[in-house]
Amino acid sequence: MTTPPPPKETEQVNFSDGSTRTLTQFRCPKYSCSKPEPKEPSQHQQPFASRAWAYLNEDVRPSHFAEMQLVLLTFCIGLQDFHAFASNQTGNTVFLMLAIALPQFNPSMFITANIGCSLGFFLGSAWLTGQLGHIIGPRRRLWLLVTNTIQTCLVFIAAALQFGSHHTNTPGKDLFESGSLDGWDAVTGTRTLICIALLASAAGSQVVLSRSLNMTEITTAMATAAWLDLVIDKNMFRSLKKNKGRNRRMAFLTALAVGSLCGAYIYREVGSAVVITISGGGKAVVLGMFLCAPGEKVKKGDEERGNVNEKEGKVKSNVMAKEGAGAVKGGDGNGSGSGSGSDEEVEVERRGPGRGDEAV
């Protein structure tokens, strides 16, 4: 049996609604029975609040701009760590073990309270920031802004506390001339512990932030691994364009060294309170830079592919649900038709096959 040829474009065709039109007329939007899907509004047509929320929830992309931010944070760490380790916890770990084994050397060699406070708050802040980052998104712009805001506030609070102390608000050279540079009041007390806790908390959160940007060469704090990776790099003497890892390590180590030198000089001339204030100002600059940092935007093809996969998943789930409902109905029908037989089968399953069952 041969199938009839398809109608031509100009041939009249009878439709189910009783009308007679050509295929050309039917394909025209004027006669189309299906309405075109509404177009999604463009990015510029969306409300400002929606665009701002989408911008805040996108991930910050690792880039040269992000490298500049991490280098600036390293400089700030160097400023505040020129004479007290609130971020480099290697020495604090060693001294804490010495304090446990040789407590008689406290405070001549180390101050156990300061060491324990620094290490404890550093680890606690790093743990909290890291675990929350796993839930929220470690590179989400809003999360980076929130964490940097908290870090900056902690540093400024520490600076305010130091302005209220004579030893931290006095130039280091004046303290040295007066003989009170290494006084007991300068390195102990509640005010000192609070400042160490604030700075260590900010440093721990900052190190976690630097790792979330996928640039492990710039840790913003610990220099040992960077020195080691730098000297064992087999491509150490390649050009700048061919060894990005070496360039990042060099920038990190240089920023840390320059920050420590600047911090020591400022402390000698005006006091450590000004040093901490400048460090907080640098972190505030980085906070503003996160508003302008380039983000990772979802490609339209990936978004459409995701929508298609979502629709296919919904269709499959609906089909499986219908099949399950049909199976349940079929089982009910069979059970109602042979109720006694199903009861016997259940009884056999409970007590196991007997002689009569085996014979059957």
- What pLDDT, on the 0 to 100 scale, is given for residue 189? 78
Beta-carbon count within 10 A of 187 CB: 14
> Where in the chain are the domains?
65-290
- What pLDDT, on the 0 to 100 scale, is given for residue 181? 54
- What pLDDT, on the 0 to 100 scale, is given for residue 354? 45
Looking at the predicted structure, is the pLDDT value of residue 191 above 90?
no
Between 330 and 87, name the one with better pLDDT.
87
Looking at the predicted structure, is the pLDDT value of residue 173 above 50?
yes
> 162 and 195 in contact (C-beta within 8 Å)?
yes
Q: Per CATH, the architecture of 65-290 is what?
A: Up-down Bundle (1.20)
- What pLDDT, on the 0 to 100 scale, is given for residue 251? 94
Residue 221: DSSP 8-state: S
| Cα–Cα distance measured from residue 186 to residue 166, given in angstroms and rounded to the nearest whole number | 9
- What pLDDT, on the 0 to 100 scale, is given for residue 353? 47
Distance spanning both ends of the chain, measured CA to CA: 53
Looking at the predicted structure, is the pLDDT value of residue 355 above 50?
no
Specify the residue for token string 């606690």: 124
> Which band of pLDDT confidence, cut at 50, 70 and 90, is reported for residue 312?
low
| Cα–Cα distance measured from residue 317 to residue 328, given in angstroms and rounded to the nearest whole number | 16
pLDDT above 70 coverage of the chain, percent: 64
- What pLDDT, on the 0 to 100 scale, is given for residue 47? 85
Segment 240-266 mean pLDDT: 91
* 139-143, 203-207, 211-215, range with the lowest pLDDT: 211-215
Cα dihedral 178, 182, 185, 186 sign: positive
Say which residues have a Cβ less than 8 Å from residue 186's Cβ, sequence separation at least 6.
Answer: 167, 168, 175, 180
Segment 25-33 mean pLDDT: 52
pLDDT above 90 coverage of the chain, percent: 34
Looking at the predicted structure, is the pLDDT value of residue 352 above 50?
no
Beta-carbon count within 10 A of 120 CB: 17
Segment 30-43 mean pLDDT: 53
> CB-side exposure of 233: number of CA atoms within 13 Å?
21
| Cα–Cα distance measured from residue 142 to residue 43, given in angstroms and rounded to the nearest whole number | 20
Segment 206-227 mean pLDDT: 89
Interhelix angle 272-290/190-212, rounded to 10 degrees, is: 30
AA identity, residue 188: T
> Which band of pLDDT confidence, cut at 50, 70 and 90, is reported for residue 94?
confident
* 19-33, 170-184, 288-302, range with the lowest pLDDT: 19-33
| Cα–Cα distance measured from residue 274 to residue 269, given in angstroms and rounded to the nearest whole number | 10
Looking at the predicted structure, is the pLDDT value of residue 161 above 70?
yes
Cα separations (Å) of 329 from 287, 323, 333, 335, 336?
62, 10, 6, 10, 11
Please name which of 75, 80, 92 lies closest in space to residue 264, comparing C-alpha atoms: 80
Which stretches within the chain are classed as H helix? 23-27, 48-56, 64-80, 89-101, 112-136, 141-163, 172-178, 184-187, 190-212, 224-231, 244-269, 272-290, 300-337, 339-351, 355-359
Looking at the predicted structure, is the pLDDT value of residue 146 above 90?
yes
Looking at the predicted structure, is the pLDDT value of residue 311 above 60?
no
- What pLDDT, on the 0 to 100 scale, is given for residue 303? 45
The two structure tokens encoding residue 306: 């995701």
* 59-63, 110-114, 200-204, 228-232, range with the lowest pLDDT: 110-114
> Which band of pLDDT confidence, cut at 50, 70 and 90, is reported for residue 207?
very high
- What pLDDT, on the 0 to 100 scale, is given for residue 351? 46
